[in-house]
Amino acid sequence: MRFSRNATGTLFVGGAMAVTLTAMVYPSMLGVSTVSSDQSRIIANTQWGPLTEGDRDFVVKVRAAGLWEYPVGQLGLQKGQSAAVKTASNHLIDGHAALDVSCRKIAPLLNITLPNIASPQQEGFVTQLKSDSGKQFDVDFANILRMTHGSIFNTIAKVRSTTKNSLVRALADQANDTVLDHMTVMEKTGDVDFDTTLNTQTNPPKMPASQLTPPAPPAGQPQVVLTAPPTETSTALDLSGLGVGSAPSAPAAAPSPGASGG
């Protein structure tokens, strides 16, 4: 999926107007795939408050977001043409490494199984960006990531305002700050087409659940860990004030996903 502009500045995707085709990229972070139609259904009562289907799916989706955006950040450092794209890439790596630590901290406490690879659609974004070069990479990078972050921003607000689980609330706070930062650095690239982005966010297409859902890891597979950069500035959750003792020790780590997307 390629973004380009004609002489008038209209954004096109693969030769067709983006307003009709970029809808295909919308649900990357976006819609939370559910087991039942009721996201408010309580699936567990925990010492941190009831856990709903929506809460659980949110934790899984935050983890899945890092599993494709972290390697896209690595791609951006390699292939980005502008300093702004490289800056945005560093923010992706830094922010998602910290969110990943937080997801891996709270998931075992809430009995949530985390994926080791992103959804098929998210992996498709990585494949698309791997095939790009030159300025085309910068344009696709900025527009895909601005669309996905703009969409999850609304999801975070809904989870934060409705969850009764204090661990999920804390993760939503961290995710809110991280996603706002990532939206901002994408906008600073100067490559974002806002008309297309906002149209896609407000008119989401329907996608098969199989394309939106990250698969569960095989039994016994080591958990993938997103390694923080040496210059990290983002901070994972401190659970000591949330009724949690010492944080669980890190599981045996599989290799951190590189530019291949995990």
The more confident residue out of 56 and 247 is 56
- Report pLDDT digits (tens) over 77-128: 999 999 999 999 999 999 999 999 999 999 999 999 999 999 998 999 999 9
pTM above 0.85, yes or no: no
The Cβ-side half-sphere exposure at 140, using a 13 Å CA radius, reads: 26
- Report pLDDT digits (tens) over 177-217: 999 999 999 999 999 999 988 787 777 667 888 888 999 99
When computed from its CA atoms, the radius of gyration of the chain, rounded to whole angstroms, is 18
Q: Helices then strands (H, E): number in the chain? A: 8, 7
Domain edges within the chain? 47-217
The Cβ-side half-sphere exposure at 91, using a 13 Å CA radius, reads: 22
Least confident of 80-89, 156-165, 244-253: 244-253
DSSP β-ladder status, 49-52 and 253-254: unpaired
Q: Which residues pair with 224 in a beta bridge?
A: 254
Around Cβ 219, how many Cβ atoms within 10 Å? 5
Reduced 3-state DSSP string for 80-110: CCCHHHHHHHHHHHHHHHHHHHHHHHHHHHC
Alpha-carbon distance 230 to 220, whole Å? 30
CATH code for the domain defined by 47-217: 1.20.1260.10
Q: How far apart are the first and last CA of the chain?
A: 21
What share of the chain has pLDDT > 90, as a percent?
A: 66
In one-letter notation, the amino acid at residue 4 is S
- Could you tell me what percentage of the chain is helix, strand and coil, using 3-state DSSP and rounding each to the nearest 5? 55, 10, 35
